[in-house]
């Protein structure tokens, strides 16, 4: 059967004029997001009423979700509200809201950290047209920063290669991942990262989907790659352990919210191992 990717419902536009509707507010403070939960226990953005005390705060219009305008708001202080890293909400936030919450954190961070030109030190001004901060003197635009990275499931018939990073809890294995270097194609990154991290060579790369990963600003590009040659040799400083696992004998793997899990589930489905 065909595996269905958890396609987010992108019912919002990237620009446009905010309507006079109430709106959805994603309130940020530093790298943290204001915590707010619906009756179902899932994270939700707050309402206009709930941000009425922040009317002087800087906000960034992000587009519409359905017919509701969405805003990122930078709270100058936490006040009596609870804030937490967005990671804390994984598993209890839907895909679309996760992406919008990540976007709001990244926009607030970009705005906060690009007040001055990196070349001449002059104050920048905001260019509303294309969401950039501009140095009029140098004529440089500073855009929100994104770091493309690859994430790849290496497979060999009914086996998959999974690795445990030093930072993972004992027993948890995942796919391989790494950042794209300047001047490198995405395909080159996949081959290089796999060879660097576990010493094997891969081919037959298949792009399977992407996930914004705002910790702090990655865009994960997900691949399946077929094993070609080599024995596993772990990169000492990064990988604690890497092994081939039979599709029917997987170890602990990341939760359903992560693209690493989608990549594994999709491969299992292709091989007829899951429902
Ligand atoms: Zn400048």
Distance 120 CA to ligand 1 centre (A): 4
Q: Which two tokens stand for residue 114?
A: 């690009």
Which DSSP helix (H) or strand (E) runs through 264?
helix 259-270
Residue 78: half-sphere exposure toward Cβ, Cα within 13 Å? 11
For 45-104, write each residue's pLDDT tens digit.
999 888 888 888 888 888 888 778 899 999 999 999 999 999 999 889 988 899 999 999
Cα separation of 130 and 118, whole Å?
19
Query: How many CB atoms within 10 Å of residue 129?
Result: 8
Distance 129 CA to ligand 1 centre (A): 19
Q: How confident is the model at residue 8 (pLDDT cuts 50, 70, 90)?
A: low
Domain span at 221: 147-270
Q: Would you say residue 183 lies in a domain?
A: yes
Q: Would you say residue 227 lies in a domain?
A: yes
Q: Which two tokens stand for residue 254?
A: 């990341």
* Residues composing the chain: 275
On whether the CB atoms of residues 117 and 140 are closer than 8 A, the answer is yes
Q: Would you say residue 214 lies in a domain?
A: yes
CA nearest to 48, candidates 80, 27, 25, 76: 25
Q: Would you say residue 2 lies in a domain?
A: no
Q: Would you say residue 47 lies in a domain?
A: yes
Question: How high is the pLDDT of residue 13?
Answer: 47
Residues 139 and 63 grouped into a single domain: no
Q: Would you say residue 3 lies in a domain?
A: no
Distance 119 CA to ligand 1 centre (A): 5
Cα separation of 247 and 268, whole Å?
6
Q: What is the CATH number of the domain that holds 207?
A: 3.90.79.10
On whether the CB atoms of residues 27 and 51 are closer than 8 A, the answer is yes
Residues 159 and 261 grouped into a single domain: yes
For 223-270, write each residue's pLDDT tens digit.
999 999 999 999 999 999 999 999 999 999 999 888 999 999 999 999
Question: How high is the pLDDT of residue 52?
Answer: 86
Q: Would you say residue 243 lies in a domain?
A: yes
On whether the CB atoms of residues 87 and 215 are closer than 8 A, the answer is yes
Residues 6+ apart with CB under 8 A from 17: none
| pTM across the whole model | 0.87
Distance 139 CA to ligand 1 centre (A): 7
Q: Would you say residue 187 lies in a domain?
A: yes
**Dihedral (CA of 109, 110, 111, 117) sign:** positive
What's the domain count of the chain? 3
For 11-45, write each residue's pLDDT tens digit.
454 444 445 558 899 999 999 999 999 998 999 99
Distance 236 CA to ligand 1 centre (A): 42
Cα separation of 258 and 51, whole Å?
30
Distance 189 CA to ligand 1 centre (A): 33
């Amino acid at each position: 059967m065909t595996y269905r990717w958890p396609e987010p419902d992108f019912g919002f536009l990237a620009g446009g004029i905010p309507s006079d509707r109430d709106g959805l507010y994603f309130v940020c403070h530093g790298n943290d997001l204001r915590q707010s939960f619906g009756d179902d226990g899932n994270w939700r953005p707050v309402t206009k009423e709930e941000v009425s005390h922040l009317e002087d705060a800087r906000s960034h219009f992000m587009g519409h979700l359905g017919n509701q305008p969405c805003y990122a708001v930078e709270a100058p202080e936490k006040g009596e509200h609870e804030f937490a890293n967005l990671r804390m909400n994984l598993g209890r936030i839907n895909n679309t809201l996760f992406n919008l919450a990540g976007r709001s954190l990244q926009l607030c961070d970009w705005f906060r950290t690009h007040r001055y030109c990196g070349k001449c030190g002059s104050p920048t001004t905001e260019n509303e047209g294309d969401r950039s901060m501009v140095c009029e003197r140098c004529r440089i635009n500073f855009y929100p920063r994104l770091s493309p990275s690859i994430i790849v499931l290496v497979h060999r018939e009914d086996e998959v290669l999974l690795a445990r990073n030093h930072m993972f809890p004992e027993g948890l294995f995942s796919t391989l991942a790494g950042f794209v270097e300047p001047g490198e194609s995405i395909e080159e990154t996949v081959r290089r990262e796999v060879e660097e991290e576990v010493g094997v060579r891969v081919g037959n790369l298949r792009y399977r989907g992407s996930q914004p990963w705002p910790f702090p600003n990655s865009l994960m590009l997900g691949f399946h790659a077929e094993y070609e040659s080599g024995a596993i040799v772990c990169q000492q400083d990064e990988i604690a352990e890497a092994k081939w696992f039979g599709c029917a004998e997987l170890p602990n793997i990341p939760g359903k919210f992560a693209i690493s899990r989608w990549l594994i589930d999709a491969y299992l489905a292709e091989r007829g191992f899951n429902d």
